[in-house]
Amino acid sequence: MPPMGAFTAFVAQGFRQQAAYKVEGWLGIASSLIWFVLFAGIWTALLRDDPVALERQMRYVIAARFLSELGFLPTWEIAEKFRMGDVGLELIKPVPLPVRVLGDFLGRSLFRTLRSLPVYIVIWFAFGLTAPGATALILFLGSALTGWVIAASFQLSLTLIALWTVQFNEAENIWHLASALFSGEFIPLYYLPAWAGALAAYLPFAGTYFVPSAILAGTLTGPELWQALGLQVIWALAGCGLLAAMWLAGQRKLTMQGG
């Protein structure tokens, strides 16, 4: 099977697998609502006196919460395989581990995203926000998927460090810390201190939340938009390159947990 065909098959399998868990589905929607209450509460308190900025921010929050569904990357499952020594089996399979894992993650993320989509559409109109234009929607979807590639490829690369060390979560912890500050998941880059906002714009994290959310909020336009999209593509390619290099080098250096 050609690599793209195999990847698609794993996406479909991940999607079906996630769909099988009905209770998780409903709890996931409840969880999305609680997170939305948190973020909406904070920003309403901050921007109460500026209705225009508040409306813009509500669009941003809905987009970012929607992206958090897409950004579900259970790399800990892979780390556990390494810890238990199951990675040996991965080496004899015909499709490389990164292709299978990324396909599975994407399928599961897509299911979570579609499951929560009606909730976010209802919230969008409940807040009286105007519907986004077709161009903004297409750019948002393209940017969201590119952001997913950035997050997935870098995080899986960090998980693969375990090929050398058996157990190593610290690199991922640092990624999550930097992501919490610089991705725009919570605070859009234009509300960060000037130095942090300027720095964050060039880091990979901005592509995972800020760029797509700002597109839907209507705050990223003109040359800035194209520059941000260009940077996103560069970081996505860099992430895929790093992942491929890590997997090739890691197989030669594999440390395995014996039984």
- Chain contacts with other proteins (rule: CB under 8 A): 23-24, 27-28, 30-31, 34-35, 37-38, 41-42, 44-46, 167, 169-170, 173-174, 176-177, 180-181, 186-187, 191-193, 196
Query: Residue type for 17, please?
Result: Q
d(CA 132, CA 223): 20
Residue where the block lists tokens 């693969």: 160
Q: Kindly list the distances between the CA atom of residue 222 and the CA atoms of 59, 184, 225, 253, in Å, as whole numbers in the listed order.
A: 19, 20, 5, 47
Q: Which is nearer to other proteins, 4 or 23 (CB)?
A: 23
CB of 148 to other proteins, least distance (A): 21
* Token pair of 24 as six digits: 């998780």
CB of 94 to other proteins, least distance (A): 32
Residues 6+ apart with CB under 8 A from 213: 60, 63, 64, 67, 184, 188
Q: Which is nearer to other proteins, 103 or 197 (CB)?
A: 197
CB of 177 to other proteins, least distance (A): 4
Q: Which is nearer to other proteins, 46 or 256 (CB)?
A: 46
Q: Which is nearer to other proteins, 10 or 60 (CB)?
A: 60
Q: Which is nearer to other proteins, 97 or 200 (CB)?
A: 200
CB of 8 to other proteins, least distance (A): 28
CB of 215 to other proteins, least distance (A): 22
Query: 122, 118, 31, 22: which is closest to 72 by C-alpha?
Result: 31
CB of 259 to other proteins, least distance (A): 19
Q: Which is nearer to other proteins, 48 or 93 (CB)?
A: 48
Q: Which is nearer to other proteins, 197 or 239 (CB)?
A: 197
Rounded to 5 degrees, φ, ψ at 94 are -70, -25
CB of 98 to other proteins, least distance (A): 25
